[in-house]
Amino acid sequence: MSAWRRNDDVAVVESDDHIVVVNLAGLDQQPVALSGSAWLVYDTVDGTRDTAGVIETLRTRFPDELDLARQVSDCLEALASTGLIMPTPAPPA
Amino acid sequence: MTTLTIPEAVRLCTAWADRLARDHGVRALVIKGHVLSAQGLREGYESVDVDLLVEPADHDRFLEVLGDHGWTPMTLSTAPKIIPLHAVTVTHLWWPITIDVHRHFPGFLADPQVVFDVLWQRSTTARVAGIEVRAPDPIGHAALVALHHLRSPDSSRAASELPDLTARVRATLTPEQVQDLAALAARTGASATLAPFLEDLGAQPAAEDDTDAEALAAWRLRTSVPESAWLVGLSRVPVWRWPLDVWHAIWLSDAEVETYHRRGAESLTRARWRRFSRGLLVTPPALARLARHKLARRRPRRHS
């Protein structure tokens, strides 16, 4: 599976307990606030981790969270659907 | 809907507006605001709106583009202007802030297209909300912001921020760059309007610029008697229209009172009354200052 990366076209303003973002590739999209788990997932996306890698990274921080894999997968899909993150293109063969 | 704070909205919307202009091939410079802070020309002030200086030829087209994305112009003030209207303010349902779309910037008295080209040619980028936006270089920006303060030299903001700007420019620009600033002023018709700022910086006067005398006179009237706009406006219309114009000056439309004069939850009637009371206070001294200003302009200048 491809690694996830953040969209370079997203403007980001960070606050103490959340971030607000707006996707400049879709200028009619509303600004979005990410807090809590959504912010953590977005923050973990670094261009090298795929879905399993993001889950694994967050598992070390939340070892007792039973439903973590599903929550992270859903969150990644939601972030991707709004264009905030995208799959890293596969390297040329 | 996301509830944005004003500082968050200003940063995000700055990046958004810059991108919108680029995507539509409109040359636009982000002015004032966070760029000014990033360039070290201001500190400790949170903007409450986004300011864009748009290429004059594309100003109206850009307003249409903004309209296509949900931005609508605020009610235009019918108050007479000594200096022609230079910006349109637009609002949006999602954004808790406004964008001021400048066609030109008061105080630069050369042709607005020439001024824009000068500022654009030396423009730079600054990072706002993680995005590079196009902005004037520090020298052009310093000139622009100094003009912003010199337009209302008696305001409390100008009284504190212009000396601060002067100190920051003095601390950051080399003597050559200060001369560059004076040259920029000459090319943009701002040698006279920026004179107090340039003198404070110790800049040598650049070559004479061909500033329009009428525009300079309007600038001087606006900066020395800021309350005189209605009086000047009256002097420009036939006498038979005075009763109607005076009545309008006193009353204004509901939309204008709502947009420009109502404070918080006060009623329109109260806002009107407060504005009228202030008008009674400032009109006599404004008349006196206007008369002195006109007399001074008529008096022949003596050359030693």
> B87 has which bridge partners?
B102
B285 vs B187, residue with greater confidence = B187
Q: Average pLDDT, whole number, for chain B?
A: 86
pLDDT in tens, B165-211: 999 999 999 999 999 999 999 999 999 999 999 999 999 877 666 67
Residues A67, A69, A75, A81: is their CA dihedral positive or negative? negative
What pLDDT shows up at residue B304?
39
**Chain A nearest C-alpha distance from B64 (Å):** 15
What pLDDT shows up at residue B231?
66
B301 vs B190, residue with greater confidence = B190
What pLDDT shows up at residue B303?
44
What pLDDT shows up at residue B39?
93
**Is beta strand A18-23 parallel, antiparallel or unpaired with respect to A10-14?**
antiparallel
pLDDT in tens, B260-281: 778 888 888 888 888 778 777 7
If you average pLDDT over residues B81-98, what whole number do you get?
84
As a whole number of angstroms, the distance between CA A33 and CA B220 comes to 47
What pLDDT shows up at residue B114?
95
* Closest CB to A11 among B5, B15, B23: B15
**Chain B nearest C-alpha distance from A63 (Å):** 31
A21 touches chain B (CB under 8 A): yes
Asked if A21 lies within 8 A of B8 by C-beta distance, the reply is: no
A19 touches chain B (CB under 8 A): no
How would you list the strands of the sheet with A10-14, edge to edge?
A10-14, A18-23, A32-35
Q: pLDDT grade, residue B224 (50/70/90)?
A: confident
If you average pLDDT over residues A51-79, what whole number do you get?
93
Q: Which residues are CB-neighbours of A30 under 8 A, at least 6 positions away?
A: A22, B1, B2, B94
Query: A21: nearest CA in chain B?
Result: B12
**Chain A nearest C-alpha distance from B72 (Å):** 15
pLDDT in tens, B42-62: 987 788 999 999 999 999 999
Residue B218 CA: distances (Å) to CA of B7, B26, B222, B223, B272: 35, 30, 6, 9, 28
* Closest CB to B4 among A12, A27, A31: A31
What pLDDT shows up at residue B279?
74
Question: Of B56-70, B85-99, B149-163, B256-270, where does the model show the most confidence?
Answer: B56-70
